[in-house]
Amino acid sequence: MKSSSFIPYSGPQFEEQEMVERAEHFYKYMNKRRSVREYSDKPVPRELVEHLILTAGTAPSGAHKQPWTFCLVSDPEIKKAIRIAAEEEEYENYNGRMSESWKQDLEPFATDWHKPFLEIAPWLIVIFKKPYDLINGEKHKNYYVNESVGLAAGFLISAIHQAGLVTLTHTPSPMNFLQDILKRPENERAFLLLPVGYPKEGVEVPNLDRKGLNEIMVSYP
């Protein structure tokens, strides 16, 4: 068996009551998070967004393969190209690909195929998953890729909210155009597109109720 290097764990430790209070505080903070579709064009420092991506990179992954690439986009021409391609796919979705029940489920969110936020938000983060790595031209398999990249995306969304910014999980389907526009290698597949920025002044979001604990948890006992 291949030997591994280990170091002492040095994570934070708290008294039990403080742990409960911290958990409750974090829940209440995260419960304020909302997906936002209207953005300000107010600049966001690159250093801030880079730290958000570094946080995403701390997520656990299968065999610690870290099978992700985060493409950070601010170039106006690239954002425009992404918007044009995304709207073409979304138009097809809303005008044929989506079932009527799917469109009805989306009605409360007042969304359609127009995606101006892809140009207005100061940053776009496109997450790519890597089913395998290419090392010196050879394929090296990655494990639990969707699970790993999904966890990293969750870390990123939480970090964005913690920093006082907003985002939206945008998944224009299919997303092959992102690989072409961003000139990504053959071992990468687009997973998620996140606009990142400040909310537009006066923006409104749907008044949502989230499921309660008794609806999402089953206890034994």
Tens digit of each residue's pLDDT (9 = 90 or more) over 64-118:
999 999 999 999 999 999 999 999 999 898 888 888 898 888 888 888 899 999 9
Which domains can be identified in the chain, with CATH numbers? 41-199 (3.40.109.10)
Residue 193, classed as helix, strand or coil, is: strand
- Identify the band that residue 1 occupies on the pLDDT scale cut at 50, 70 and 90: very low
Cα 7 to chain centroid, rounded: 31
- Full-model pTM: 0.94
Cα 108 to chain centroid, rounded: 22
Tens digit of each residue's pLDDT (9 = 90 or more) over 127-159:
999 999 999 989 999 999 999 999 999 999 999
| % pLDDT > 70, the chain | 98
- The Cα–Cα gap between 177 and 112 comes to 19
